[in-house]
Structure 1
Amino acid sequence: MLKEERFQIILDKLEQDKKVYLSGLSSLLNVSEDTIRRDIRDLADQGLLKSVRGGAVPHAPGPMHFRDRLSYDTEQKRVIAGKALEFLKDDQLVIFDGGTSAMLIAQLLPRDLRLTVVTNSFPIASILEEHEHVEVLFAGGRLLKNSFVTIGTDAIGFFRKFRADVCFLGICSIHKDLGVTGPHFEESEVKRTMVGVSADVIALATLEKLGTAESHYVCPTDRLAAIVTDQSPDNEVFDVYRDLGIRMV
Structure 2
Amino acid sequence: MLAAERRDHLLGLLAREGKIVAKDVAAELGISEDSVRRDLRDLAAEGLCQRVYGGALPVSPAVVDYAARQAVAPHGKQKVAAVAAGLVRPGGALILDGGTTALAVARALPRDLACTVITHSPTIAAALLDHPRAELFLLGGRVFKHSAVACGAAAVEAAQNVSADLCLLGVTGVHPEAGLTTGDAEEAAMKRALAARAADTYVLASSEKIGTASRFRVLPWEDVSALITDADPHAPIVRQLAALGVEVLAAS
Question: How would you bin the TM-score normalised by the shorter chain?
Answer: over 0.9
In structure 1, the partner of 2:212 is 212
1:219 partner SS: coil
Deviation at 1:41, TM superposition (A): 2.1
Q: Which of 114-123 and 177-186 deviates more?
A: 177-186
Pair 1:92 & 2:92 matched: yes
Deviation at 1:111, TM superposition (A): 2.6
In structure 2, the partner of 1:200 is 200
Q: Is the 8 A contact 2:98 2:119 kept in 1?
A: yes
Letter in 1 for 2:163: R
The TM-score with structure 2 as length reference comes to: 0.92
In structure 2, C-alpha distance between the alignment counterparts of 1:68 and 1:8, rounded to whole Å: 27
Q: Is the 8 A contact 2:210 2:231 kept in 1?
A: no
In structure 2, the partner of 1:226 is 226
In structure 1, C-alpha distance between the alignment counterparts of 2:63 and 2:161, rounded to whole Å: 32
Q: Is the 8 A contact 1:80 1:204 kept in 2?
A: yes
In structure 1, the partner of 2:11 is 11
In structure 2, the partner of 1:140 is 140
Q: What percent of counterpart residues are identical? A: 35
Q: Is the 8 A contact 1:222 1:244 kept in 2?
A: no
Q: How does 1:1-249 map to 2 (within 5 A)?
A: 1-62=1-62, 64-249=64-249
Structure 1 runs of 4+ aligned residues shifted over 4 Å read none
Q: How large is the Cα RMSD of the aligned pairs?
A: 1.7
In structure 2, C-alpha distance between the alignment counterparts of 1:205 and 1:231, rounded to whole Å: 9
In structure 1, C-alpha distance between the alignment counterparts of 2:246 and 2:222, rounded to whole Å: 7
Q: Is the 8 A contact 1:228 1:248 kept in 2?
A: yes
Q: Is the 8 A contact 2:63 2:172 kept in 1?
A: no
2:86 partner SS: helix
Q: Is the 8 A contact 2:62 2:209 kept in 1?
A: no
Deviation at 1:176, TM superposition (A): 1.6
The TM-score with structure 1 as length reference comes to: 0.93
- Structure 2's unaligned 5+ residue stretches are none
In structure 1, C-alpha distance between the alignment counterparts of 2:235 and 2:53, rounded to whole Å: 28
Cα gap change, 1:98 to 1:223, in 2 (>3 Å): same
Cα gap change, 1:5 to 1:193, in 2 (>3 Å): same
Q: Which of 115-124 and 105-114 deviates more?
A: 105-114
2:11 partner SS: helix
Work out the number of aligned pairs and report it.
249
In structure 1, C-alpha distance between the alignment counterparts of 2:222 and 2:178, rounded to whole Å: 11
Deviation at 1:34, TM superposition (A): 2.1
Q: Is the 8 A contact 1:178 1:221 kept in 2?
A: no
Q: Is the 8 A contact 1:182 1:218 kept in 2?
A: yes
In structure 2, C-alpha distance between the alignment counterparts of 1:86 and 1:61, rounded to whole Å: 27
Deviation at 1:241, TM superposition (A): 1.6
Cα gap change, 1:233 to 1:92, in 2 (>3 Å): farther
Letter in 1 for 2:229: T
Cα gap change, 1:234 to 1:3, in 2 (>3 Å): closer
Cα gap change, 1:57 to 1:234, in 2 (>3 Å): closer
Q: Is the 8 A contact 1:120 1:149 kept in 2?
A: yes
Cα gap change, 1:177 to 1:237, in 2 (>3 Å): closer
Letter in 1 for 2:169: L
In structure 2, C-alpha distance between the alignment counterparts of 1:52 and 1:108, rounded to whole Å: 36
